[in-house]
Amino acid sequence: MTVRRTTAFSAAGLVLTRDLRLAVRRPSQLIQPLAFFAVVALLFPLGYTPELGKLRAIAPGVLWVGALLASMLALESLFREDASDGTLEQFVVCGQPLVALMAAKTLAHWLLTGLPLTLMAPVLGIALGVPVEAMPGILFSLLLGTVTLSLIGAVGAGLTLGVRRGGVLLSLLTLPLAVPVLVFGARATELAISGESLMGPLYLLGALAVLGITLAPLAAAAAVRIGLE
């Protein structure tokens, strides 16, 4: 039993390392979500108003909607490239738990997309008039929220694996599931900006993250099996 666990973790580590190395060779895929996030956030001072007081009021929605849309840019290619070159079939027949391998690929997506978006949010928040004192709360809420978004996206990417040009369908599947994350995350950011306690929304974001970590790899593995048939 111990040997099997060690082997599963080793296989997941190899998948994670492989995905990170492939991403480093294609930096455009890393830069695209960050550039999109920056453009979305910085367009509001130009198109709405440069007044910091008004920008601060809409900053929670701007940051969270921008992060949600930016994280979805890399979802369509999460499994599709591995399916086209036969890698996913090898994952299925290699004898290792497919759940662990899907969890590793989801972790790679978060490290390459969700974590950079989280670290970039304070810079964009300053441009929207967010006080520096609110940054720790915003960072922590985005940290929990982007983890859940990556997990939800992995399930959607698996379900649309067999669909050609399934980007629109992927958005239609994942956006409704991401609404609770968006609502609680924006509320936590709003409370952080106003200087109030944000523990309530953070607890809910944490509960969603734990639920996603528990169920999403299982659902993604099942969806990939169905998509490959």
Could you tell me the residue ranges of all domains in the chain?
2-228
CA atoms within 13 A on the CB side of 178: 29
Write the CA distances from 148 to 6, 9, 63, 70, 109, integer angstroms. 26, 21, 16, 14, 12
Nearest to 134 by CA among 61, 60, 70: 60
Per-residue model confidence as pLDDT tens digits over 36-70: 999 988 888 887 777 878 888 889 999 999 999 99
| pLDDT attached to residue 27 | 81
Token pair recorded at residue 64? 């969270």
Q: What is the mean pLDDT of residues 16-36?
A: 87
Q: What is the pTM of this model?
A: 0.89
DSSP code at position 95: S
Q: What is the mean pLDDT of residues 205-221?
A: 93
Between 5 and 117, the more confident residue is: 117
Per-residue model confidence as pLDDT tens digits over 111-120: 999 999 999 9
Per-residue model confidence as pLDDT tens digits over 88-143: 888 888 878 889 999 999 999 999 999 999 999 989 998 888 999 999 999 999 99
pLDDT band at 1 (very low <50, low <70, confident <90, very high): very low
| pLDDT attached to residue 166 | 63
Per-residue model confidence as pLDDT tens digits over 176-190: 999 999 999 999 999
